[in-house]
């Protein structure tokens, strides 16, 4: 934008010089500023190429200098949606594991009652004094309860309860920190949206001032230096506007990353 504007202004000044309305030195100052701008653009392209090569090495994919680096699509964050971070699923899985372990320990601690039945046909039967073949059978109940294991299981249950409490504390701290980060990011989004609205007004005013300065320069009312100051102010305002747009896009994405899966 600035380069195009300078080129147009130089053409206008060269026409004024030919008509005797301006000094050649005025055009020279604008040309010098244009050359400096082109040097800056060249340096930016060089830095961009180095960055693309670094990205290519990291990703393992070839990236040419002509590739376009586009901003991600606009994301409208939903402040009312619930937090669905993968860490919460991990907390839930770990808590379920504690419950299953506790259930197994509880099962092992229950006294075990077994029923049995034995029968047969032989000599002697249950009557050891008889020498006749007889049918016989036996039925009964057997109770097993290991008191030593009961004490051990109780300690294990207590240990699991402590682990579960620690897990819940970690989950609560995680949610608290996440909500704090979300609140900060939401505030940043609102602030940047306000900045962008103001940027539009500033850019519009700076453009009007620069156009007025361009006309004044063509009529010899101001010097090229004064004109370049106004042009730089307009350029700075436009850069600031684009910076705020990029920052807003990243703030929106960060908000979604803090909240989503």
Considering the domain boundaries, does residue 178 fall inside one?
A: yes
61 and 179, same domain (yes or no): no
Based on the domain organization, do 217 and 251 belong to the same domain?
yes
Does 108 lie in the same domain as 49?
no
Strands (E), 175-234: none
Q: At what angle do helices 24-59 and 224-259 cross, to 10 degrees?
A: 20
Q: Provide the sign of the torsion angle of the four alpha carbons 169, 172, 175, 179, taken in this order.
A: negative
Shared domain for 60 and 93, answered yes or no, is no
In sequence order, what are the residues at sequence separation of 6 or more whose Cβ sits closer than 8 angstroms to the Cβ of residue 47?
Answer: none
User: 158 and 238: one domain?
Assistant: yes
Same domain as 59, residue 93: no
The answer to whether residues 197 and 250 belong to one domain is yes
C-alpha 105/C-alpha 214 separation (Å) is 86
The pLDDT, as a whole number, for residue 120 is: 54
Return all residues near 222 (Cβ < 8 A) that are at least 6 apart: 213, 216
Non-local CB neighbours of 165 within 8 Å, separated by 6+ positions: none
Q: Are 50 and 29 in contact (CB under 8 A)?
A: no
Q: Is residue 125 part of a domain?
A: no
pLDDT at 261 over 70: no
Q: Determine the angle formed by the axes of helices 147-218 and 86-109, rounding to 10 degrees.
A: 180
Residues whose CB falls within 8 Å of the CB of residue 157, separated by 6 or more in sequence, listed in order: 102, 105, 106
> Residue 11: is its pLDDT beyond 90?
no
40-79 per-position pLDDT tens digit:
888 888 888 888 888 888 888 888 877 777 777 766 777 6
- Same domain for 56 and 162, yes or no, is no
Q: Tell me, what's the pLDDT at 91? A: 86
pLDDT at 111 > cutoff 70: no
Q: What is the pLDDT of residue 185?
A: 92
Average pLDDT, the chain: 80
Distance from C-alpha of 195 to C-alpha of 160, rounded to nearest angstrom: 52
Question: Which pLDDT value is given to residue 203?
Answer: 96
**Nearest CA-CA partner of 231 in 220, 241, 217, 243:** 217
| Residue with the larger pLDDT of the pair 141 and 41 | 41
- Measured between alpha carbons, how far is 155 from 66 in angstroms, rounded to an integer? 67
Question: Quick one: average pLDDT of 221-244?
Answer: 92
Q: How confident is the model at residue 93 (pLDDT cuts 50, 70, 90)?
A: confident
Q: How many domains does the chain have?
A: 2
Name the strand (E) or helix (H) holding 141: strand 134-144
pLDDT digits (tens, 9 = 90+) for 191-205: 999 999 999 999 999
Residues 108 and 208 in one domain: yes
Q: Do residues 259 and 34 lie in contact, with contact meaning Cβ atoms separated by under 8 Å?
A: no
Does pLDDT of 141 surpass 70? no
Per the model's pLDDT, the better-predicted residue between 122 and 102 turns out to be 102
Question: Using DSSP, how many helices (H) and how many strands (E) does the chain show?
Answer: 5, 2
What is the mean pLDDT of the segment spanning 121-137?
57
139 located within any domain: no
Cβ atoms within 10 Å, residue 12: 17
pLDDT at residue 207 is higher than 70:
yes
Q: Specify whether 98 is located in the same domain as 207.
A: yes
Encoding tokens for residue 126?
């249950």
Stated as kind and residue range, the H or E segment containing 84 is none
Q: How far apart are CA 259 and CA 255, in angstroms?
A: 6
Residues of the domain holding 242: 84-112+145-261
Contacts of 261 (CB under 8 A, 6+ apart): 84, 85, 86
Together in a domain, 56 and 93? no
Whether residue 135 is contained in a domain is answered as no
pLDDT band at 98 (very low <50, low <70, confident <90, very high): confident
Q: What is the pLDDT of residue 204?
A: 96
Dist CA 108 CA 44 (whole Å) = 71
Last residue in a domain, options 13, 38, 70: 70
The pLDDT, as a whole number, for residue 107 is: 62
């Amino acid at each position: 934008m600035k380069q195009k504007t300078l080129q147009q202004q130089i053409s206008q000044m060269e026409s004024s010089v030919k008509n005797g309305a301006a000094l050649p030195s005025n055009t020279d100052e604008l040309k010098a500023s244009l050359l400096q701008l082109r040097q800056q653009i060249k340096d930016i392209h060089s830095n961009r190429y180095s960055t693309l090569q670094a990205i290519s090495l990291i990703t393992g994919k070839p990236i040419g200098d002509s590739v376009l680096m586009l901003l991600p699509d606009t994301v409208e964050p939903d402040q009312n949606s619930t937090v669905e971070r993968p860490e919460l699923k991990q907390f839930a899985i770990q808590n379920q594991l504690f419950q299953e372990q506790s259930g197994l320990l509880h099962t092992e601690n229950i006294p075990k009652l077994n029923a049995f039945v034995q029968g047969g046909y032989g000599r002697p039967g249950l009557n050891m004094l008889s020498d006749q073949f007889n049918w016989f059978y036996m039925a009964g109940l057997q109770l097993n309860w290991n008191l030593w294991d009961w004490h051990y299981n109780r300690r294990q249950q207590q240990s699991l309860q402590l682990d579960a409490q620690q897990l819940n504390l970690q989950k609560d701290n995680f949610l608290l920190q996440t909500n704090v980060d979300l609140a900060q990011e939401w505030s940043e989004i609102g602030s940047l949206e306000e900045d962008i609205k103001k940027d539009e007004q500033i850019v519009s005013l700076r453009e009007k001032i620069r156009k007025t300065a361009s006309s004044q320069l063509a009529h010899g009312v101001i010097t090229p230096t004064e004109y370049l100051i106004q042009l730089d102010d307009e350029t700075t305002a436009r850069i600031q506007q684009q910076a705020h747009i990029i920052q807003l896009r990243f703030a929106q994405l960060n908000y979604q990353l803090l909240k989503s899966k």
